[in-house]
């Protein structure tokens, strides 16, 4: 039975990944290690919490003792690292924690995994460390072209710079020690259990409570949207078939402007749930500092080498997502804790 150490598994993508893996395989064990920051929520994992192949350990990836103990107690086969501070706006307000978790924390688990897996002749068994990185490490695109794995790293925010730093440290462990690693760089995810500070759940949440819908700058920045389950499938394929030492971009040519995304959500809620939700709620607000204009993934490598392609179009995925948040309004209310309310107030004024 392969043992997966999933770090940051109580967050958005990590929890979707754990649920997907336990639904797909009954012969694996998953240990979810999460510090439970504001973004980590064990409610996301309710449907698997009693699964005998799943266990949760509250720990910080920066903590040597806690992480070493897990490697001492379990013969971990795979590490899938989702743990991170993940919100660009927060990184602009307070960069330090981003360097701590996203750089030093990654180096800590990487090093502990290396020490536990390394033998005289190389590395034991079929071990692998997969880092969940981001397309933001490539910086920003103009009107044409796409990010390929060969694009130079050119991050602009403290968040993306911290993710790029981690990518380089991981690459150095491959170059120096031949450690079995892969890095995935995915575009913007959306779907169930995303914390409502990110564009799509924030807009859905504000529509449901008739609050202002803040659109940064001119609303014409472009993101390449991927339904979270498609990302989870890609990670599973990289774990199983990814060539050691390689980087894989993950995305599916679903580029949309922010204002298109916002208006799509309004229209669907207006037509299906509440005719009081209209474009009048939109408010153009001050732009994000250093705001990347456009992201767009070239998925040729993962498509050709691993035969991965997304199965959910943006039009289908956004409807599924809105329906999920409406059905799970209680979840939305619960995650908006006091701490988050203060942050929200600072960013957007009274709730
Ligand atoms: P998230 O913020 O929803 O979840 C992050 C999780 O990490 C939380 O459960 C949090 O408690 C945990 N965590 C934070 N610091 C920790 C620490 N020091 N030790 C242990 N756990 C800690 O993030 P997400 O959106 O699910 O993103 C997951 C990963 O995927 C991140 O590494 C992010 O950079 C990357 N990524 C995200 C997207 C996206 O669109 N959301 C796209 C591409 C890549
Ligand atoms: O591309 C992958 C990245 O996508 C991940 O690495 C990050 O972890 C994830 O947070 C996401 O980053 P973005 O900055 O692209 O996502 P966010 O949802 O914060 O913003 C999406 C776009 O919407 C961006 O152009 C900023 C804009 N925006 C965002 C918010 C929160 C608004 O116009 N209004 C808002 O209120």
User: Which of 39, 88, 106 has most ligand 1 atoms within 8 Å of its beta carbon, as the pocket-test mutant?
Assistant: 39
Q: What does the alpha-carbon distance between residue 210 and residue 228 come to, in Å, rounded to a whole number? A: 26
Based on the residue annotation, tell me whether 174 is a catalytic residue of this protein: no
Tokens of 89: 């706006």
Residue 333 has a pLDDT of: 85
Q: Which residue has the tokens 């490598």?
A: 301
Asked if the structure places residue 302 within a domain, the reply is yes
Asked if the structure places residue 76 within a domain, the reply is yes
User: Nearest C-alpha to atom 19 of ligand 2 is from which residue?
Assistant: 198
The model's pLDDT over 238-275, given as tens digits with 9 standing for 90+, comes to 999 999 999 999 999 999 999 999 999 999 999 999 99
CATH of the domain at 182: 3.40.50.720
Residue 351 has a pLDDT of: 45
Confidence of residue 214 (pLDDT cuts 50, 70, 90): very high
What is the CA(10)–ligand 1 centre distance, in A?
Answer: 9
Asked if the structure places residue 140 within a domain, the reply is yes
- Cβ of 99 below 6 Å from ligand 1: no
With a CB cutoff of 8 Å and minimum separation 6, the contacts of 207 are 213, 265, 266, 269, 274, 277, 281
Asked if the structure places residue 68 within a domain, the reply is yes
Among the atoms of ligand 1, which is closest to the Cα of residue 226? 40
Q: What does the alpha-carbon distance between residue 13 and residue 91 come to, in Å, rounded to a whole number? A: 19
Based on the residue annotation, tell me whether 268 is a catalytic residue of this protein: no
Asked if the structure places residue 282 within a domain, the reply is no
Range of the domain at 232: 2-191+226-252+294-311
If one counts the domains in the chain, the total is 1
Asked if the structure places residue 289 within a domain, the reply is no
Average pLDDT on 33-48 reads 95
- Mean pLDDT taken over the chain: 96
Asked if the structure places residue 288 within a domain, the reply is no
- Cβ of 191 below 6 Å from ligand 1: no
Asked if the structure places residue 317 within a domain, the reply is no
């Amino acid at each position: 039975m392969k043992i997966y150490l999933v770090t940051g598994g109580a967050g958005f993508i990590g929890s979707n990944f754990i649920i997907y893996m336990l639904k797909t395989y009954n012969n694996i064990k998953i240990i979810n290690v999460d510090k439970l920051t504001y973004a980590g929520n064990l409610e996301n994992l309710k449907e698997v919490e009693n699964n005998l192949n799943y266990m949760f350990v509250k720990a910080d990836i920066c903590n040597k003792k806690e992480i070493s103990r897990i490697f001492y107690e379990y013969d971990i086969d795979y590490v899938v690292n989702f743990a991170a501070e993940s919100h660009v706006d927060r990184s602009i307000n307070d960069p330090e924690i981003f360097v701590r978790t996203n750089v030093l924390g990654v180096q800590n688990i990487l090093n502990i995994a290396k020490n536990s897996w390394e033998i005289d002749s190389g590395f034991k068994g079929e071990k692998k460390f997969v880092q969940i990185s981001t397309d933001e490490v490539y910086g920003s695109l103009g009107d044409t072209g796409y990010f390929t794995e060969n694009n130079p790293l050119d991050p602009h925010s403290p968040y993306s710079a911290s993710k790029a730093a981690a990518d380089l440290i991981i690459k150095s462990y491959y170059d120096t020690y031949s450690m079995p690693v892969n890095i995935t760089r995915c575009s913007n995810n959306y779907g169930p259990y995303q914390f409502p500070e990110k564009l799509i759940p924030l807009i859905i949440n504000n529509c449901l409570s008739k609050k202002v819908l803040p659109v940064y700058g001119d609303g014409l920045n472009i993101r390449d949207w991927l339904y979270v389950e498609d990302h989870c499938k890609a990670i599973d394929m990289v774990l199983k078939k990814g060539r050691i030492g390689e980087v894989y971009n993950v995305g599916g040519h679903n580029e949309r402007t922010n204002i298109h995304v916002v208006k799509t959500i309004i229209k669907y809620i207006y037509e299906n749930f509440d005719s009081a939700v209209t474009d009048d709620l939109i408010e153009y607000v001050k732009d994000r500092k250093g705001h990347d204009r456009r992201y767009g993934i070239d998925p040729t490598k993962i498509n050709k080498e691993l035969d991965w392609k997304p199965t959910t179009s943006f039009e289908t995925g956004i409807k599924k997502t809105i329906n999920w948040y409406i059905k799970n309004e209680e979840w939305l209310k619960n995650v908006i804790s006091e701490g988050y309310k203060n942050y929200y107030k600072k960013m957007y004024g009274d709730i």
